Structure 1
Amino acid sequence: MSSAISFGGSKENQKTLLGHPVGLFVLFFTEMWERFSYTGMRAILVLFLISETSTGGFAWSRADALVLYAIYTGAVYLTPIIGGWIADQFLGSRNSVIIGALLMTIGHAILALETEMALYTGIGFLIIGTGFFKPSMTPILGEMYPDKNLILKDAAYTIFYMGVNAGYFVGIIICGWLGTNEKFGWSWGFGAAGLFMFLGMLQFYFARKIFGDIGSKPNRKKDAPSAAEKYGETEVKFTKGDSGLLGLSVVLGILTTIGWNVFELDTVWKKLGIILPFIISILSFIILRLKKYPTVERNRLTVVAVLSFFIVFFWLAFEQAGGTMTIFAEDYTQRSFTTDASANTFRTVSLILTIIPMLILTYVFILLSRKIAKAYPLSVLFLGICFVIIWIAMGVINYENFHSENLEVPTAWFGTLNAFFIISLAPLFSKMWKALNKNKIEPSGPIKFAMGLFLLGIGFVMLAIGASSIPAGAKTASVSMVWLILAYFFHTVGELAISPVGLSYVNKLSPKRIMALMFGVFYLANFIANFTGGIIGSYIDDISKSISLSGFFSIFVYSSFGSALLLILLNKKLRKLMHGIH
């Protein structure tokens, strides 16, 4: 069946699935397996580092483990600004996706060796690979949709974001189970992340022609039209000064992350001093570049910059999930069951949490296969292999749960709640935005961002209340898991209000000739957020001693509520700067 709307890409991409071009779902599954590898590895990284050597871990302190976590989760959002520029200028988005996926596969394979040298080398490959991969996916998606149909494009980003979180969900379950299971071990968890990244790359590679000219290598011949001419835009050339300042910013960012781990930074002033040069250089680059653009483009890019600034406050709190919230689940949450009835309830809930999303994903895979199997059989084959492995693993995990005598909720299980809520609620959010738009009462982008920050703050209110009974300085406790579940629910609802909306706004507000670069700039905010959030998290023990664990989580309540209020105050000005794009 062909769509009445003309989509970008090949003739094959005019076929639709759930009202969208089939190419969207090729991207959906590619992103899903990349997020599987990233989140699966992230779910066990801190646990691996703080585990005793007798269990295969490194026996690091919480602070040291969380600093490395900060460096890794921050740096994977720093390299996309360079990777995005390389994709725009030289490789094209499609080639960058493949190169990035291959580098990440190698990184995960090296991590499976479980030595300190392998740890740093593997993380290095992951950081560089992500730099190529991450800024190159969303521009391909954006070019498939007509510019005039912004509502359909918004819906596409929500569906794409479901793929992101489907990967989160499956990766945490599989890698978390393998890594913490005595029968397997950490190397199995890291290895599984690499395997699915490799299969995801093959699935994308063998279906890449479905995108036609979208994301292809730029034509750099002298007589070829420039990207600006191709899209009817005004070219703002990169000067040597621009390139030098951008390069300096990246170098300073890398040196900052290394410096945090190498030098003894025992005062606030030392910490501020080492990061200040990077902040000054990157802000200078952004401001000087913005001044060179035509007025409308400059204003719209200013909105992207402002939203990027506020998303820092969202992600620095949200990304506590893989750090301090993981420690809270491990050491401060009651995860064992006192009665058989409660254990059986968890077994049933866990089975539902795994089976329902997998049935939905498998259904989408079958629908996609029917559409593209004839044209791209190898892509369908490798995607099918992924699903067979996942179903077998899910079966084994649930079998063990139902036959375990001393059942305990795995620490990594709580991380799956975010992805489960995303998969369950994303379609409702998509319908809600459409209904509000139809009735002309849909909130603006800045207001949606403020909503997301406010809901995130509510989640940390839950954690602060849950931790209120824990004495200051306590290393262990047995708080009800209800507080963590509520926190993940509110965090997820906040994420749905802010993250897919952010991706869509970067696409709509950015000039097409620098689309991948602007996604790199947008992800730069995640670098600052993850790095800062991880460093704050590394002080969990010190802060808990002085103002309690509840006080520690309250820090994120204040930062979330405060930034939400400021965005509301700026809403009118930002809407004006968008020049009609809402």
Structure 2
Amino acid sequence: MADGVHGLGSLDASPPRWMDSHHGPGRRRASPPCSPRVPYARPLPGPNGPSRDGGRGGPPNTRHAPPFSPTGKASMQFFFWSGASIVLTYIVATGIIHLAGHPRGLSTLFFTEMWERFSFYGMRAILMLFMLAAVEDGGLGFDTAKAGPIYAMYTSMVYLATVPGGWLADNFLGQRKSLLWGGVIIMVGHVLLAMHGLTFFYSGLACVVIGTGLLKPNISVIVGQLYSAEDKRRDAGFSIFYMGINLGAFGAPLMCGYLAQDPRFKATLTGWGLDPVNAWHWGFGAAAVGMFLGLVQYLATSHQLGKAGLEPSPPKDEAEALSRKRTLNIGIGAIVASLAAVGALAATKPELMTQGNIKVAFTILLFGTVVAFFAKLFLAGDWTPNERSRLVTIFVLFCGASIFWGIFEQAGSTLTIFADESTHNSIFGYEFPSSWWQSLNAVLIVILAPVFAWMWIRMSDKNPSYPFKFAIGLLFAGLGFALLVGGATLSSGGMRVSPLWLFGVYLLHTIGELCLSPVGLSSMTKLAPARVVSLMMGVWFLAASVGNFIGGSVAGYYEAFDLPTLIGVVAATGVVMAIVMFALVGPIKRMMKRNEEAGGSGD
């Protein structure tokens, strides 16, 4: 046994059950003493007899150092093949872009986005697990009631920040400056997360939110500026660009999860004379390295972009210029006033600065933004009765999209907890970290996207309408959690279930994403009156923000409710919303047709 036991080795001379062949790489965290339903708090036999950690053995709040091998051979092999895969990706992607005759700048943006998504999804893959891991295991020791809201607010703010980030780029900074500064701030955020302490943790999350808000909405705009509106290569260029997103999303959980969780890397740390309890911070550090590599290649090749994204959109006249400056000053003033108010409250009434109150305040802010957004939409002009009905329908689509993302985006929260606590994380005898499950969606997207594209073309005139695909997407999201009810029921006895349960969930959710995501924004723009079409991107990002908040919040009740019941409620919500959307398919199709005939937005 390694010397990382810190004097507790005498409590249990045998390896903890979370390291045995039946459970695979996992984590240990303390059980909240008052939780009505704590899946890992059932008295199951372990190496020390009955335990309170889901049968993984040992007393609560006790870190057992596994019997690591110091050779690190497996880790070196992993790093070698990871590096080889990255080199191969650069060669293949650059070759495809060059041979297909696309602008050279596309490769710059492809790899910048790939590395940015690597950093984002790599950190997300281990974020919830890090918060839930016991302090003795290097984590924060939170329970799900605390970790869930933090995850919810963070992921929600990431998407909420894209709205002001896009506005700043369009009106003041230009897309290129926004992209660069966004990447730098993201990298700083991941560096802070790689350090110890709650101050660094929360500061790191804030930096990632701000940086993503600046980078994410603007890099896609630059891709579009590489092509003229009538360029036939445009759609193919975006398809290649989105492949970079999926490559980053695929590789990130594998690398960051390996560094943070896998016993083989912890063996390497032990062999280097380092404490394996710090493995989590190596995972966050890998996310920082990913963003650093993205920035290096962006700075080295940004000359290939020409003038795309260099300058903000010029104001039409002096009045618009003044309006932009006034809006900016109001925004800065609101931020400064809010920070001052929070600081004053923390200094004078620290007892009010609880997580519960912070979550309530954020909930009011988020849904207040939704109300204000749609109030502006409805009051933007003297709408005809037909136009008002279309705006109401857009709101229904917004609610549907919010619920879909609220279900789908539980990959990093509820599904990750289920993978870590209740699933056999192994395939053909190979055990893997629970965070690796978050790579599965990207793999399935790459495999199934061409199949769906071929299928829609083959269906020709029988191709389902946009509203029908929207409803199908919601249905599959609900069915994914309906399937998981069975797995949750089996695991409620403290057992770990087959990985096929989670595979089925991710498969159904990916099918739902391929049905809904490509047509969601398009459906809204087809319904919108011409004068508010430009607001639809904001509506879509706002739906993603609300959905991520819902998804993370569900994880906050993981221990407070019976797990099959909690998952069943999520499933029922998705299915009921799908039924509502199916009922509205006919009216929505007629509204979209009338809008196009009247000279509406179209595509």
Corresponding residue for residue 383 of structure 1: none
CA contact (8 A) 1:313 1:560 kept: yes
Corresponding residue for residue 450 of structure 1: 471
Measure how far apart 1:477 and its partner are.
Answer: 2.3
- Superposition pairs of residues 182-201 of structure 1, within 5 angstroms: 182=266, 183-184=268-269, 185-201=279-295
CA spacing shift, 1:84–1:251, aligned 2, 3 Å: farther
The answer as to 2:344 corresponding to 1:263 is: no
What CA deviation, in whole Å up to 9, does each residue of 1:526-573 have, x standing for no partner? 2211112211211011111xxxx2221112212212222223333433
Aligned AA for 1:488? Y
SS in structure 2 at match of 1:543: coil
Structure 2's unaligned 5+ residue stretches are 1-96, 270-278
Matches of 1:250 and 1:558, distance apart in 2: 42
1:537 equivalent among 555, 572, 584 = 555
Measure how far apart 1:213 and its partner are.
Answer: 3.6
CA contact (8 A) 2:426 2:499 kept: no
Structure 1's unaligned 5+ residue stretches are 1-14, 230-234, 348-407
SS in structure 1 at match of 2:195: coil
The answer as to 2:423 corresponding to 1:333 is: yes
2:260 equivalent among 176, 179, 187 = 179
1:208 equivalent among 302, 319, 342 = 302
Measure how far apart 1:32 and its partner are.
Answer: 1.6
SS in structure 2 at match of 1:541: coil
Matches of 1:205 and 1:510, distance apart in 2: 39
What CA deviation, in whole Å up to 9, does each residue of 1:229-272 have, x standing for no partner? 9xxxxx996796898599869998998xx99x943749xxx977
Aligned AA for 1:428? V
The answer as to 2:490 corresponding to 1:469 is: yes
Deviates more, 1:160-169 or 1:77-86: 160-169
CA spacing shift, 1:90–1:580, aligned 2, 3 Å: closer
Aligned AA for 2:497? V
The answer as to 2:486 corresponding to 1:460 is: no
Corresponding residue for residue 440 of structure 1: 461
CA contact (8 A) 2:527 2:601 kept: no
Measure how far apart 1:147 and its partner are.
Answer: 4.4
- Superposition pairs of residues 275-314 of structure 1, within 5 angstroms: 275-276=363-364, 278-289=366-377, 291-292=379-380, 307-314=397-404
Corresponding residue for residue 117 of structure 2: 35
CA spacing shift, 1:145–1:562, aligned 2, 3 Å: farther
The answer as to 2:543 corresponding to 1:525 is: yes
Corresponding residue for residue 48 of structure 1: 130
CA spacing shift, 1:47–1:187, aligned 2, 3 Å: same
What CA deviation, in whole Å up to 9, does each residue of 1:186-213 have, x standing for no partner? 1211111011112112323333344444
Corresponding residue for residue 566 of structure 2: 552
- Superposition pairs of residues 507-526 of structure 1, within 5 angstroms: 519-526=537-544
The answer as to 2:436 corresponding to 1:419 is: no
Measure how far apart 1:38 and its partner are.
Answer: 0.7
Using the aligned pairs only, state the percent identity. Answer: 37
CA spacing shift, 1:17–1:282, aligned 2, 3 Å: farther
Matches of 1:264 and 1:116, distance apart in 2: 14
RMSD of equivalent CA atoms: 4.2
SS in structure 2 at match of 1:58: coil
Measure how far apart 1:50 and its partner are.
Answer: 1.7
Corresponding residue for residue 218 of structure 1: 312
What CA deviation, in whole Å up to 9, does each residue of 1:489-511 have, x standing for no partner? 11112112222444666788899
What CA deviation, in whole Å up to 9, does each residue of 1:409-461 have, x standing for no partner? 3211222111111122222233334444xx33433333222221111122112
CA spacing shift, 1:481–1:82, aligned 2, 3 Å: same
Corresponding residue for residue 69 of structure 1: 151
Q: Which structure has the bigger radius of gyration? A: 2
Compare relative contact order (CA 8 Å, sep 6+) and give the higher one, 1 or 2. 1
TM normalised by structure 1 equals 0.71
Equivalent pairs counted in the alignment come to 478
Aligned AA for 1:67? P
Matches of 1:512 and 1:128, distance apart in 2: 31
SS in structure 2 at match of 1:477: coil
CA contact (8 A) 1:31 1:164 kept: yes
CA contact (8 A) 1:450 1:567 kept: yes
CA contact (8 A) 1:108 1:191 kept: yes
TM normalised by structure 2 equals 0.69
SS in structure 2 at match of 1:48: helix
Measure how far apart 1:333 and its partner are.
Answer: 1.2
CA contact (8 A) 1:49 1:65 kept: yes
